[in-house]
A and B are shown apart, each in its own frame.
Chain A
């Protein structure tokens, strides 16, 4: 078939890229080869616009066993225990087909984790929808939530934490990011690098169908009015098969049969075989007629580009085939040797002994395009919001407005649809600052949280990038965990626009700065560009997933008030920064101004003091202060407990409203027994940490001095109605 310009465009390649392909091959590619290049060179697989910036992120640390570049990142939590984790986007497919898009997002990220030898122990998600009154939102919300639950519940991995946000910026392009966390023995971690010649390349798992062809290329372009036509590029998930595949792989991993293993994710058989060969600096030869197919008469082109789910590619040690096959047969899964490793450093594709395609591996991997795209810096916005000019609102009314809003309502409508308890190690479920998962059979636990703040990132990407790492770090600290490392999912618009590329570059600089300062390296991640429709880009939305360690879990720390008449203190200074706050957005629909400033030194000191206080068992509950400020944090502590509280009016600050709703960073609220207060103050004073007493807990009522008093049952009701009424 003649390769026409139209075909090139259809494969998402630029004409210059096609010229490079011809140069690399010394000839024109055939259709199969063109398809393979398109699968490997698209933004989703090649990271061609982002690589140059990603390489600046800190990825090393004492506890990092494996940083970015593998299926997932690996960290050391002591005693031969390793935690393997990663977050990934499934935005484009979820917008086209919410149930399957979200479900296969969960399936894909789980495979990344168990491919490396880990038993998955937790799932998290970060989902962003358009405005609740947009006509698509309700359907998308329903579909995505049941898709996430449908997959995780069935495979039997608890979905323990997440965030759900609504903002009109996602009206035409929702975000669905899924994170998986697994546990492995440190000496039993499996990698994708191929080793040795003439080793069997084995296909295991589901059969290959015609679903998901060009999925990765679809995800590398923005949407337009014809996007509905792209529905067939969305894969269909089968959690049942994934469960079998997971058990079979983990069973095979008990001994030393596997040289390397790679899941078939985006760009399926193509990317898995190329990645294994590329890392091992080897060639790979596949006999495509052996590929187990679901449908008749599938062509090599379709087999190589299908993104059918629940498949893996394994390179086996000599003489292990029989034993390995027995395991996969036990689990009723296909197990077929479809090729071998070679020394040609080429990908050779045969069909009934006829060579259908032949491409040097380096042309697909290391020679993939790398762009240093033009990017614009964004200045810190100047426009100061004039509070005095705004219509006055009562504190009580503002609080009620926020607590009953889509973004701040209780999310049990969502979390009740996820099995959070299966595996019986979930010591703390969703709804707290971070979830806590015990390491099976041991006393230690990990804490996990996933966070984003697109409003801050939009206002000033550099500050936003810095802030979101800190907020994630703070959430782990608030449950008493020592933060270890993060994974990030970078959701942005069209990188070909300098403004968007600037948002990306500067968010990354911010992330880098915080990660370096907090010794909080990035060990895995994913970039999702082209989030937008018809030239309208989403707000920059980097999502951070963090993992921390609690070395001896005695009682899970959370933000739920425990006692009557205990003292409430706030750690960290309150200046009353209202610009870019939830208060201005929800009450006045104002989204101008600067995001709050980050002081990394204070952030670190405050967090370390909180950790010490928790470790010494001096505190009943802890909550980080984030979106909505102090008063929303306090309301959240009260709503989920049996106790109310009373906040005093501070003597110094002129504007009480700024004090209550300001979103200054690096702050925590702590509930402390009277008799323990002295010891806590000692720690804080010794470390030069700013703190103030702000109130006491009491029975039944949430009260702000001289302002209002409201029954906590009423507050609870206000916070719980949005989803049920939607």
Chain B
């Protein structure tokens, strides 16, 4: 499986995702934002960080970068695309995913391990997880408060496009377990074709027991076959 990690100036989780992908036996390439062509890829990852310093608005400038035109083309022709944290923000800026990520409701950067529930385990990204499985995954962001319009929210629910929801250790989804104010505790969403996933939590941080846990592994192994 060939993967490409897009590197913007200010990306800072690019090495982390590359380490995770290689650990999972992906053949990975790093792709600089000024390039105009993508190497052959089955999976494109847009990593976390502060692309272009998050100036103007998180992900806004990256959403207009040279390489992103190629990412959009590939995504539209069915290539798998994963945007994590800043990558999710960039995907919403490009329009590949609907909705927007607003400032956290407490107006502060939040870094901690949170619980999320796998709301749909029938996709290429999640098939190795159990339905409603609760994962403990690290979040680290200023703008992770997912917002969208009522029609789209309805669509997300009807077509099972919500990938993950923030919850407690037992899977209970409520306001108390919503770290950033996201609508319906949404932590990650798919596009209609479910080949694009954007998520605020960092699965690449959860592949090594010495550092955290292995709850992120199945996301990558789902993609492998």
Q: Which residues of chain A have a CB within 8 Å of any CB of chain B?
A: 146, 149-150, 153-156, 238-241, 243-244, 330-332, 412, 415-427, 438, 553, 555-556
Contact = CB atoms under 8 A, between A and B. Distances in A.
9 contacts: A239-B50, A239-B53, A243-B50, A416-B111, A416-B112, A417-B108, A424-B20, A425-B211, A427-B210
Interface residues of B, number: 31
B76 interface: no
A243 B12 contact: yes
A415 B143 CA distance: 18
A535 to B, nearest CB: 37
A156 B204 contact: no
A380 B121 CA distance: 69
Given A146-B109, A419-B140, A420-B111, A553 B16 contact: no
B210 A438 contact: yes
A481 to B, nearest CB: 15
Interface centre among B34, B50, B111, B138 (most CB of A within 10 A): B111
Contacts of B211: 421, 424-427, 438
Contacts of B140: 153, 419, 421-422
Contacts of A332: 9
Contacts of B109: 146, 149-150, 153, 417-419
A412 to B, nearest CB: 8
Given A421-B111, A422-B140, A424-B19, 20 more contacts: A153-B140, A154-B10, A154-B12, A156-B50, A238-B53, A239-B53, A240-B10, A240-B50, A240-B54, A244-B10, A331-B9, A332-B9, A416-B108, A421-B212, A422-B12, A422-B13, A422-B48, A424-B204, A425-B211, A427-B211
Interface string B1-34: 0000000011011011001100000000000001
A113 B54 CA distance: 25
9 closest Cβ pairs, A-B complex: A156-B12, A240-B53, A154-B50, A419-B140, A424-B16, A419-B111, A417-B109, A149-B109, A421-B138
A567 B199 CA distance: 44
B21 to A, nearest CB: 12
A384 B76 CA distance: 79
B174 interface: no
Contact of B15 (A146, A155, A243, A423): A423
Interface string B26-66: 00000000100000000000001110111100000000000
Contacts of B34: 330
Contacts of B9: 240, 243-244, 331-332
A556 B209 CA distance: 11
A544 to B, nearest CB: 26
B127 to A, nearest CB: 25
Contacts of B20: 424
Contact of B208 (A146, A330, A424): A424
Contacts of A150: 109
A155 to B, nearest CB: 7
Nearest to B14: A156
A417 B111 contact: yes
B205 interface: yes
Contacts of B205: 421, 424
Nearest to B50: A154
A146 B111 contact: no
Given A416-B112, A418-B111, A421-B205, A154 B54 contact: yes
Contacts of B110: 416-417
A422 B16 contact: yes
Contacts of A240: 9-10, 50, 52-55
A244 to B, nearest CB: 6
Contacts of A153: 50, 109, 111, 140, 142
Contacts of B50: 153-154, 156, 239-240, 243
Nearest to B7: A247
Interface in B164-203: 202
B208 A155 contact: no
Contact of A146 (B12, B108, B204): B108
Contacts of B15: 423
A420 B211 CA distance: 11
A18 B112 CA distance: 55
A261 to B, nearest CB: 21
Nearest to B49: A156
Interface centre among A419, A420, A423, A555 (most CB of B within 10 A): A419
B111 A423 contact: no
A141 to B, nearest CB: 12
A75 to B, nearest CB: 23
Contacts of A423: 15-16
Contacts of A149: 109
A701 to B, nearest CB: 22
Nearest to B10: A240
B2 to A, nearest CB: 22
Nearest to B212: A421
Nearest to A159: B111
A427 B212 CA distance: 7
A691 to B, nearest CB: 30
Interface string B116-147: 00000000000000000000001010100000
Contacts of A417: 108-111
A669 to B, nearest CB: 25
B213 to A, nearest CB: 12
Contacts of A241: 53
B64 to A, nearest CB: 15
A331 B11 CA distance: 12
Nearest to A415: B111
A427 B12 CA distance: 19
Nearest to A416: B112
Contacts of A239: 50, 53
Contacts of A424: 16, 19-20, 204-205, 208, 211
Counting chain A CB atoms within 10 Å of each CB, the highest count among B19, B20, B50, B204 belongs to B50
Nearest to A157: B12
Contacts of A421: 111, 138, 140, 202, 205, 211-212
A332 B211 CA distance: 34
Q: Interface centre among A154, A240, A423, A424, by most B CB within 10 Å?
A: A424
Nearest to B107: A146
Contact of B53 (A154, A419, A426): A154
Nearest to B9: A244
A415 B15 CA distance: 23
Contact of A243 (B10, B13, B16, B108): B10
Interface in B144-158: none
B84 to A, nearest CB: 12
Contacts of A146: 108-109
A553 B211 CA distance: 11
Nearest to A241: B53
A331 B140 CA distance: 25
A153 B202 CA distance: 14
